[in-house]
């Protein structure tokens, strides 16, 4: 989309991208926690760049776009510079305050419409109508309602609205890690993340499929997007799987099924881990420790499924030209940025500060080889790629603010847990199934991180009420929020894999659904096995890990269907004899 911009717009886009890198690098070192300046600058830049990239096609439309850019900057700038004054006169806002609040809220809806689509806009509009006309709703969810202006003031100025948790997490952590991911790719690490597993397991049974799983774990842990992971690593691994003998729809399914695991894998876990840390008040290093074993079990499950799929069809890969040890000896330094981030976060440094050190180490690593050196031109390219990758989630800030702002304003957050418990009859299993259904439906029109945040606000209290510890409850919601990537009917990541594999989209989608089955087992384990989320004594945790490891193997063996082939072979031998 960048290529479609005119020269002036490209210069503006690149300037804003570099500004993001410089400003937030400085901010992460000087001021770890986001102030109104951090949030405001991020939202302004996001709004400006979205209106540049997702521009109108007519000349009049372009004039309106620039007017919206101006109004965005003015309304958000007003919030930044009047922040203390507005907080001081809460409840007695002036006419000017109200005007800028209305402008800010409406522009947020238009922004989401351009980037995410109409479903998100309908959701935001319904929530606005509910906020104004709540007294007309059924008694179970009714509230007093409020004038439109008062509702906009609450959404735009209060801490649980547009500039609430989503903007805070995006400005403090996510943008830095997205930028880090683009710099890591630019320094040449992506090739290592594919070549190394290819040499290690590429020549074994189902080798290319196993390469896809390992590469997706390595690259996905920093990409922050299952779809981006599917497209980037899949361009190489899917043709390789097809060549080895995997059926096209299976090759197209393995990659997205594996790519989802990157959202669970530390050190980065997409944006969800940072939102989880913010919501729970638990250090991000603790979230990482809780997440690592479940993430490994997810990849182990997909790995086993690939192995048995390959055994059923006698698929064996080709031996690599170089051994895994040779590649590791020559390219081990590409692991340095990930190691730097992990060590600094475990030592208690802020995620933002750790991300900046990781980004700097990417630049340092790039100079090992002449062809990957990040000079001024490649620096701008990496900044541009990272900024563009962050826009889709950044564009949801306005509508997320509307949804959470109205939920809080109406008091529905407090009653939703009771509604869910009543519908499930107090059953934890039924409650988890309801959360799965809600996140699937929500994920059809909302980015998965946004789906997690919205669902967590209303569903976590219901889960904790039923005895699930808080982190495990958030993990249940977070894992289930990813299901729309590979679960029909939407399954965008699976469709991306099908496109690369040139396979039937629906066959690919259902195959991806099969390979990613641990996505649905994991939340049940979080709910029923405290040790799975490191809750309990050391012996309880060890027992849980051992049982889950062997249980995951058995679960994958059964779901792969290889036992059916074994039974058929045994039956045919008996018949012959």
Query: What is d(CA 333, CA 191) in angstroms, rounded to the nearest whole number?
Result: 13
Asked if residue 340 lies in contact with residue 354, where contact means CB atoms within 8 angstroms, the answer is: yes
How many CB atoms within 10 Å of residue 349?
18
Three-state DSSP class for residue 264: coil
Q: Is 556 exposed, middle or buried (0-12, 13-18, 19+ CB in 10 A)?
A: buried
* Residue 100 confidence (pLDDT): 93
pTM, two decimals, is 0.76
* Residue 489 confidence (pLDDT): 66
Asked if residue 284 lies in contact with residue 273, where contact means CB atoms within 8 angstroms, the answer is: yes
* Residue 543 confidence (pLDDT): 92
Is the backbone of residue 323 left (phi > 0), alpha (psi -120 to 50) or beta? beta
SS (H, E, C) 515-554: HCCHHHHHHHHHHHCHHHHCCCCHHHHHHHHHHHHHHHHH
- Listed in sequence order, the residues at least 6 apart from 165 whose beta carbon sits closer than 8 Å to its beta carbon are 275, 278, 279, 404, 453
In 3D, which of 323, 306, 325 has the Cα closest to residue 315? 306
Degrees to nearest 5, angle at CA 483 with 515 and 479: 100
Could you say which residues of the chain have pLDDT below 70? 31-35, 220-225, 232, 413-414, 417, 443-447, 489-490, 573-577
Query: What is d(CA 216, CA 258) in angstroms, rounded to the nearest whole number?
Result: 6
Degrees to nearest 5, angle at CA 35 with 268 and 116: 55
DSSP state of 172: I
* Residue 70 confidence (pLDDT): 93
* Residue 485 confidence (pLDDT): 79
Three-state DSSP class for residue 491: coil
Query: What is d(CA 243, CA 247) in angstroms, rounded to the nearest whole number?
Result: 9
* Residue 67 confidence (pLDDT): 93
* Residue 414 confidence (pLDDT): 66
- Listed in sequence order, the residues at least 6 apart from 234 whose beta carbon sits closer than 8 Å to its beta carbon are 212, 252, 255, 256, 259, 496, 497, 500
- Considering Cα of 432, then 274, then 339, then 18, what sign does the dihedral take? positive
* Residue 445 confidence (pLDDT): 55
């Amino acid at each position: 989309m960048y290529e479609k911009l005119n020269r002036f717009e490209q210069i503006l886009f690149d300037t804003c991208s570099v500004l993001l890198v410089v400003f937030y690098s400085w901010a992460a070192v000087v001021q770890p926690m986001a102030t109104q300046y951090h949030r405001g600058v991020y939202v302004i830049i996001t709004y400006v760049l979205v209106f540049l990239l997702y521009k109108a096609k007519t000349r009049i439309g372009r004039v309106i776009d620039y007017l919206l850019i101006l109004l965005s900057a003015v309304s958000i700038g007003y919030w930044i510079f009047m922040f203390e004054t507005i907080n001081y006169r809460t409840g007695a806002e002036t006419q000017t305050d109200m005007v800028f609040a209305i402008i800010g809220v409406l522009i947020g809806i238009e922004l989401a419409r351009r980037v995410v689509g109409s479903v998100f806009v309908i959701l935001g509009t319904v929530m606005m109508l509910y906020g104004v006309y709540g007294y007309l709703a059924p008694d179970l969810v009714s509230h007093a309602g409020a004038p439109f202006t008062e509702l906009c003031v609450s959404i735009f100025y209060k801490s649980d609205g547009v500039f609430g948790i989503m903007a805070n997490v995006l400005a403090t952590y996510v943008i830095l890690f997205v930028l880090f991911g683009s710099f890591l790719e630019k320094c040449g690490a992506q090739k290592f993340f594919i070549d190394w597993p290819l040499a290690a397991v590429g020549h074994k049974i189902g080798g290319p499929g196993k390469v896809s799983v390992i590469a997706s774990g390595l690259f996905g842990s920093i990409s922050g997007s299952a779809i981006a992971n599917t497209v980037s690593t899949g361009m190489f691994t899917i043709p390789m799987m097809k060549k080895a003998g995997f059926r096209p729809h299976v090759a197209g399914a393995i990659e997205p099924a594996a790519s989802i695991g990157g959202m669970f894998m530390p050190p980065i876990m997409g944006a969800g881990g940072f939102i989880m840390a913010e919501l729970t008040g638990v250090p991000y290093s603790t979230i990482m420790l809780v997440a690592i074993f479940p993430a490994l079990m997810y990849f182990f499950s997909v790995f086993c499924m690939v192995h048995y799929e390959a055994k059923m069809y006698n698929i064996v890969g080709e031996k690599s030209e170089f051994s895994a040890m040779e590649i590791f000896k020559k390219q081990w330094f590409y692991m340095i940025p990930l190691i730097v981030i992990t060590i600094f976060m475990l030592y208690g440094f802020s995620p933002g500060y750790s991300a900046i050190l990781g980004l700097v180490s990417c630049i340092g690593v790039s100079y090992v080889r002449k062809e990957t050196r990040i000079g001024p031109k490649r620096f701008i390219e990496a900044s541009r790629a990272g900024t563009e990758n962050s826009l889709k989630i950044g564009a949801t800030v306005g509508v997320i603010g509307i949804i959470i702002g109205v939920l809080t304003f109406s008091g529905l957050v407090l009653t939703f847990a009771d509604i869910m418990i009543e519908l499930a009859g107090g059953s934890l299993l039924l409650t988890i199934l309801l959360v799965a259904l809600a996140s699937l439906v929500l994920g059809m029109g909302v980015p998965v991180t946004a789906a997690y945040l919205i669902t967590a606000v209303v569903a976590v209290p219901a889960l904790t009420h039923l005895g699930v510890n808080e982190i495990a409850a958030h993990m249940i919601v977070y894992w289930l929020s990813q299901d729309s990537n590979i679960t029909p009917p939407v399954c965008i990541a699976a469709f991306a894999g099908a496109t690369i594999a040139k396979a039937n989209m629906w066959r690919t989608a259902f195959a991806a659904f099969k390979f990613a089955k641990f996505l649905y087992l994991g939340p049940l384990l979080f709910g029923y096995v405290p040790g799975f989320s490191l809750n309990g004594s050391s012996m309880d945790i060890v027992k849980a890990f051992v049982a889950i490891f062997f249980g995951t193997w058995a679960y994958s063996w059964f779901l792969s269907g290889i036992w059916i082939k074994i039974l058929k072979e045994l039956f045919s031998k008996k018949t012959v004899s």
